Structure 1
């Protein structure tokens, strides 16, 4: 084999090896967020409250989430072979931050916008005493890919000066057509509904 032919042969081998390696490479995971924004198509958008001379100080505590759901991956119902009782982790569909943080930030975003409030927890304002503390617990969060998504969220608003409390529960099941994106959009809508319920409870305490 002359030098020219050898060079071509080596180039062909290198190209073939690169192609094989590319075909064997694992696909990269896609990351999702529950925060609302321009990309959150289908999610309701809060109407900002009129500016106040004195902010409404709130504290949105971290959301309590069942350990079975507290995973980097999205967790959905496993309906394969009719096994509706099981759960499935979507390795290629992951939250951009831990799920309790995703949910807390989404609730805080909506509450700050709708109430004209400042979340002392999110802003790291250790020297400011919040007037209302909001705690939430996820009882249920599940989805069937391409079909539906639902949640049950318990919440409490406590007025700190006197300890008065308003509690409630937000339950919702929404259609989630399409792939994983449909589930994420439905979850955003559910969290928006929970934030609206919490805001109504807080306003009741202000009377």
Structure 2
């Protein structure tokens, strides 16, 4: 009886070791938005032409379908294709990550208030920002590049200013380097959009 019990204990221990050995690694999550301390204030902004606070409305960012997923998508350096990393993921779908990061950058640089999802204040001028990611890709350990088309529309008169930001930056290291490179790309895009808002706000 004792011999049989010992065998069962041994088998159970072996099964536990095998299960632990086959367990998938926990995913690591990344975000493009800054921390709360980096975010712009939620009230009071630079005044517009009418003397009211500067209101902006940063709409969801459109991305190519192959990027519209929770996993990070990077180039495969061996085959020339792309790979999805199941263990490296965004904290939210990439369009949301891009929108939130752009919103933070624009609120900070323009000292503005983003009213997306809150509705525009009645009869107040605002600037609606729309963006399309034409291309966004990275070679891990090498570089990241993007082409982002954007439009700023002044409300309520509808005057429009459009532009395109094309950026390539180094992405040293592993996927953390890619995420940091994407943040640099978004900062450059936000700077171009902010200049467009200021041009329409004169």
Band of TM-score, shorter chain = 0.7 to 0.9
What CA distance in whole angstroms lies between the structure 2 residues aligned with 1:91 and 1:111?
31
Kindly tell me the number of residue pairs found equivalent between the two proteins.
194
The answer to whether residue 126 in structure 2 is matched with residue 128 in structure 1 is no
Structure 1 pair 92–61 and aligned structure 2 pair: CA distance change class (3 A): same
8 Å contact 1:76–1:89 — kept in the other structure? yes
What CA distance in whole angstroms lies between the structure 2 residues aligned with 1:194 and 1:200?
10
SS of match in other structure, 1:79: coil
The unaligned stretches of length 5 or more in structure 2 are none
The equivalent of 1:42 in structure 2 is none
Return 159-168 or 8-17, whichever deviates more: 8-17
TM-score, normalising length from structure 2? 0.86
The equivalent of 1:105 in structure 2 is 100
What CA distance in whole angstroms lies between the structure 1 residues aligned with 2:55 and 2:186?
21
What CA distance in whole angstroms lies between the structure 1 residues aligned with 2:164 and 2:46?
29
The unaligned stretches of length 5 or more in structure 1 are 39-44
Choose which of 145, 150, 156 in structure 1 pairs with 2:140. Answer: 145
What CA distance in whole angstroms lies between the structure 2 residues aligned with 1:174 and 1:46?
24
| Offset at residue 51 of structure 1 (A) | 5.4
What CA distance in whole angstroms lies between the structure 2 residues aligned with 1:180 and 1:173?
16
Return 150-159 or 11-20, whichever deviates more: 11-20
Q: Once superposed, what is the RMSD of the aligned Cα atoms? A: 2.3
TM-score, normalising length from structure 1? 0.85
The equivalent of 1:61 in structure 2 is 59
What CA distance in whole angstroms lies between the structure 2 residues aligned with 1:69 and 1:13?
45
| Offset at residue 7 of structure 1 (A) | 4.7
State the Cα deviation string for residues 64-100 of structure 1 (Å, max 9, x = none): 10111112211111222xx32x221112111111111
8 Å contact 1:36–1:188 — kept in the other structure? no
SS of match in other structure, 1:112: helix
1:11-22 → structure 2 map (5 Å cutoff): 11-22=9-20
| Offset at residue 108 of structure 1 (A) | 0.3
What CA distance in whole angstroms lies between the structure 1 residues aligned with 2:120 and 2:71?
36
8 Å contact 1:148–1:183 — kept in the other structure? yes
